[in-house]
Every structure is written in structure tokens, then in C-alpha cells.
Structure 1
């Protein structure tokens, strides 16, 4: 509605209906509010926690457990257990980055817990620090025989414990960085025999199936005799990749070798290593190596 309110001045009044019934279905546009935007703060908090290293503390003495928690709570996501069996269960459920465990505990002791962790291929990569009031070389040797990465007698120095944990975490990160950078699976670098066996199985499956275009995460996990979730969590822990990312990295490593040594065309190599399309192969190759396959060949020549 237009109203004359003075010299050369007109006022326009626009009335819009406020009810849904005033519009047809074609005129209504429903825009959903992004849950991502609504939950940004929550998601950031979750991401922050996920970025932190997970530490499992297994100790039946409440005072000692609380003391150890106080040493690491600012830098780690803390998980606790009150005995060896509970510690084993939480290790399998949470897959922590490192475990600190007392030896003398009810239900199952720390020696049994360490043995279970180190002989299970899902958890064999996890460093274990054993704490004990028992002194003497014999007890220490027994601890190391189970696969323990460190053995500390009580009472212990808080700085010593923090330093050992830091060094063990750093060693795992270096191994992860090595795998991520080179894409090489080297069983000789494994810390335990179970871990070595796992990497050998991994290597064997890859050698036999990596060039098969139907070699998916699901097929990979079946051949490794693990669930998809278990294999994903294991690979993420030791190489920092999901199962599909790991398969892709191994195909690209093989493709790079073929580009260096083979006279096959880029498209032929893409299909040979298991990619469904040359275009997707080009995209993935450039993302990883910073150059297209064609540019890579040119530099080689």
C-alpha cells in the first residue's frame, strides 16, 4: 500500500502473512539449521579430547591411582580400571595409547594384563608400564618377559614416570610417522612378536590382493580375520590412517614404483594397481606426492 505523506514523499507499507497456511507448498522453502553450526563449541571440545593421547591407569589403590591421574590429567584423556581384568576389558574397548598398571591386583594382576595386551594383535602395539612394590632383578625380568615396555618400582619419582611415558609415546609416534611417510610395512620394526606377526599378515594380504579393484575395507578385514572396526582402529593406531586410506596409500606406492620402472601408460598403471579410473588415480597421486603422474614421469626422465 502506498501513501502520500508529503511533498515528493511516499510511504510504502508491506504486509506479510506470518502463518504457514497463507502460502502454497511451492512457495514454502524449508531451510534446516546446520547441526554443525549449532554444536560448534561441543564439537570443538570433542575434537580437542580426541587429539589428546589416551592413557589407561590400572590400579586398585585409590590414593596411588588418584596421584597418577593428577600427573597426567592435563595432557591425556584418562581412563581408569581397578583390577587387571577390568584393565583388559577397557584396553579392548577404548584402545588407549599407553597403559600404566600396578602388578599386584585382584582378579588378574598386572603381569596377566600385560601378557593379554601384548599377545592380542588388536592391542599388541600399546606400550605398557608396570608399577610394583617388589624389588629385585628377578621380578623385573619377569615383567619384561611379558612384553612390558618399562618396569618401575614403588615408591617412584613422578618425573621419572612422566619421562618414561613421554618417551614411549614419542617412540610410537616416530613409528607412525615412518609408516605414514614411507608407506613401508616393516615387520622387523615391530616391538613384539605378535605385532611382527600382524605386520607380516598385513604384508602378505597386500601383496596378494592390492591390485584387485574389488579389494575393499570389508574384504581386507575378512582376510585379516578382524572386524572392519577392529582393523580400522588398529591401522589408525599404528599408521594414523583409516583402512581405505591405507589401501589407497599402498596402491599409490606401487604405482610410483611402476612409473619409475615400467613403460606402461599412466592409465594402464592406474588400472594395474587397483584404481577404477585414471582420473581418480591422478587426483590421489597429486594429493600425496604433490605432482601429477605425468609430471612425475617428466621429472624422472
Structure 2
């Protein structure tokens, strides 16, 4: 595939003490990623916190801090627990692989490795993360469950807190990202990075998306007027609400019920044809 422009490239962190191996891994990915490098787990951990890479490839046997310790640190810290980690190892024993996977490593590649296999594993991990982001944004998914958009228990707990924070302030039009940071116990930057990684959205977009999903649920129930729904989900301006709703669902709020009924009728007709 054509290399993406520099501003669209994702960051790949290589943690490897052997300079030749680092250079070799860099040669596999440099055309499609911004490459970050670290010579041991300690440097890797610092880079993971500062640079917030999209994917990490780490050797296991390294001085100062090995790959197992590094991976444990990444996966047990809320700022970095969402980062996908691939461990490289020359040790292939089953016991060792279990030890590595218990640290939360997302995948393994044994040395010597085939560059195509490594590239495929990186692509698969990134695609699985993108699929989780799409699940959150999906206009058909009105009720978001933390398990649907997270892969680790630590991220699931974070997402539960984030969803609860918005849920409890659904009709509060003055609720801000600053209020949310207090609820989840994070700085604004930490919250931004975490939500961006798990949902593909900024904190403001995250709040708006959840408000609109709730609005769609209320409209489907057909018990409130559009104006009542607007205020129930924390919007003050009816026109702005309509614009946001149409952008999210492709139809105006007043058309949404008809749209959903039309979808159901089509599904029923298809089911009858298949029967």
C-alpha cells in the first residue's frame, strides 16, 4: 500500500537492546510509521509515557529492565494499559510464553522472525483497536457496554467510570470535560489520550456522542417531544441539537422514528423472503 503522509502516520515504538535488530525492524516499518526507539525497558517505559505510541514491539531479553517487566509496567498503568504490545523472544518454551501473556502482552513473535509475519501481527492489532473505536461510534449501537470497546480489565474500569460520569450528568448542560476529569481522576491530557485511544474521539466528542445515543433511545420510545428530548440529554439549543443528531444518525430527530420503523419493515420482509 501507498505510504501515508507523515501527519497521518501512527507511532511505533521499538524496544530492543541490539542495534542491528532495531535497524532491521525499523526497515520493515519506516515507510508507514513514525518510528520511536529505546535500548531497554526503562527507556521504553519513558518513551511509552511521553510519546503515547500506537503499538509497541519489545524484545524480552534486555539489560536494565527486560521486556517482561516493561510489559507489566505498560499494562498495569492506566495511562498506557491500552497500548498493544508484541514481545520478541528467542525462548519458545510454553511456560515462558504463558509468563509473557500473563503480563498482558497482546502477541508473541519468536526469533528469528519473518518480517511479513511481524508486519501482519502489527496490522492485525491496530485493526482490532480500530474496530473497537468503530463500535463506539456506530450509529446502530445505542447502549455502549465497556466490554465492547476495551481489551484489558484496567481499561474496562476506566470506561465504566467515564460512561457513568456522562450518564449521571446527561441532562446537565453545563457539564464539562473538566468535571469529567474529576470523576475519573485524571488530568485533561490523560483523559484525552485515553479516550482517543479507546474510542477514537476527543473528550468533548465522547460526551456529545453519548448524549446523542441517549436521545435516539428516547426518540425511539416515542414518549417525549423532540424539544423535551433535547433538554433531557443536556442540549440547550434545539437547532444545534438537530444538526448534531443529523450528523450522527444521517436523519433529523423527527425523521428518526420513521427511519427506524422503515428499517424494521425491511428486515421483516427479508426474513419472510428467507423463510
Change (3 A) 1:184 1:260: closer
Query: Is it true that 1:62 corresponds to 2:22 in the alignment?
Result: no
Query: Is it true that 1:233 corresponds to 2:155 in the alignment?
Result: no
1:48 deviates by 2.7
- Give secondary structure in 2 for the equivalent of 1:113: helix
Larger Rg: 1
Query: Is it true that 1:220 corresponds to 2:180 in the alignment?
Result: yes
- Partner of 1:188 in structure 2? 147
Q: Are the equivalent residues in 1 in contact too, given 2:13–2:35 (CA < 8 A)?
A: yes
- Mapping 1:77-116, distance limit 5 Å: 77-116=34-73
Change (3 A) 1:300 1:166: closer
Q: Are the equivalent residues in 2 in contact too, given 1:212–1:273 (CA < 8 A)?
A: yes
Q: What are the ranges of 5 or more consecutive residues in structure 1 without an aligned counterpart?
A: 1-46
1:222 deviates by 1.7
Distance 2:81 2:144 in 1: 16
Q: Are the equivalent residues in 2 in contact too, given 1:83–1:106 (CA < 8 A)?
A: yes
2:101 paired residue among 104, 128, 144: 144
1:297 deviates by 3.8
1:76 deviates by 1.0
Q: What are the ranges of 5 or more consecutive residues in structure 2 without an aligned counterpart?
A: 262-275
1:274 deviates by 0.5
Q: Which has the higher contact order (CA 8 A, sep 6+)?
A: 2
Change (3 A) 1:173 1:183: farther
- Partner of 2:229 in structure 1? 269
RMSD, matched Cα: 1.7
1:185 deviates by 3.2
Distance 2:80 2:200 in 1: 15
- Partner of 2:170 in structure 1? 210
Distance 2:13 2:210 in 1: 32
CA distances 1:2-45 after superposition (whole Å, capped 9, x unpaired): xxxxxxxxxxxxxxxxxxxxxxxxxxxxxxxxxxxxxxxxxxxx
- Partner of 1:5 in structure 2? none
Q: Are the equivalent residues in 2 in contact too, given 1:183–1:249 (CA < 8 A)?
A: no
Normalising by structure 1, we get a TM-score of: 0.80
- Partner of 1:168 in structure 2? 125
Distance 1:116 1:129 in 2: 14
1:269 deviates by 1.0
Q: Are the equivalent residues in 1 in contact too, given 2:59–2:67 (CA < 8 A)?
A: yes
